[in-house]
Chains A and B, each alone.
Chain A
Amino acid sequence: AQSVTQPDIHITVSEGASLELRCNYSYGATPYLFWYVQSPGQGLQLLLKYFSGDTLVQGIKGFEAEFKRSQSSFNLRKPSVHWSDAAEYFCAVSGAGSYQLTFGKGTKLSVIP
């Protein structure tokens, strides 16, 4: 069965600092990997996705993520965090031909001005 682990429940960073959110997945075949962001009172918005090809993927809002097959990881990064990035971030996995995403439990990001 597929699964996603986000080991950090809550992270606090200062505005302007760099950010890395960790994600480890378990999937028997080639995974499709996603990062979604959820702002308070809102639904989830897709930040970026990896299906194949270049293992470093660029997303919206200045985010990027790197797929590392050997580590079963898909960590999300941003070089300089803005106060508006405060939200909850979810990593998810699915596979080719699969119709359901399996989400991690999420990492809540707080940003100190």
Chain B
Amino acid sequence: DSGVTQTPKHLITATGQRVTLRCSPRSGDLSVYWYQQSLDQGLQFLIQYYNGEERAKGNILERFSAQQFPDLHSELNLSSLELGDSALYFCASSPDRGGEKLFFGSGTQLSVL
């Protein structure tokens, strides 16, 4: 158990809908990262937050947004969903800004039908 909690574990929705994925980092970790894992693209970095502030942005679509709250949990919002958004979304946390060691949650499996 990495100590990173992601909910829900599975999510099934329809095209055009909006969903929110939630992540609780390990106790004391200030950085939260979001990754998307799909069969064709592999693991892709989406975005990083450090202590509530956006720190780095990767291949995140404009339809996607994220935030980190004062209690350090993070949410990833996906809107206007398309079939191609179906993927496993991972949250990871680390105690520092540099991501030298990431602790991954078990992921949220999103299926867009």
Contact = CB atoms under 8 A, between A and B. Distances in A.
Partners in one complex: yes
Interface of A: 32, 36, 41-46, 49, 51, 90, 94, 96-106
Contact of B102 (A41, A46, A51, A105): A46
Given A44-B104, A49-B101, A105 B48 contact: no
Contact of B100 (A36, A49, A105): A49
Contact of A100 (B4, B45, B105): B45
Contacts of B43: 90, 103, 106
Contacts of B44: 103
A32 B101 CA distance: 11
Contacts of B42: 103-106
A43 B106 contact: yes
A46 B101 contact: yes
B97 A45 contact: no
25 contacts: A32-B100, A36-B104, A43-B2, A43-B4, A43-B90, A43-B104, A45-B2, A46-B102, A90-B43, A94-B99, A96-B98, A97-B98, A98-B98, A98-B99, A99-B31, A99-B33, A99-B56, A99-B97, A100-B58, A101-B99, A101-B102, A103-B42, A103-B43, A103-B44, A104-B42
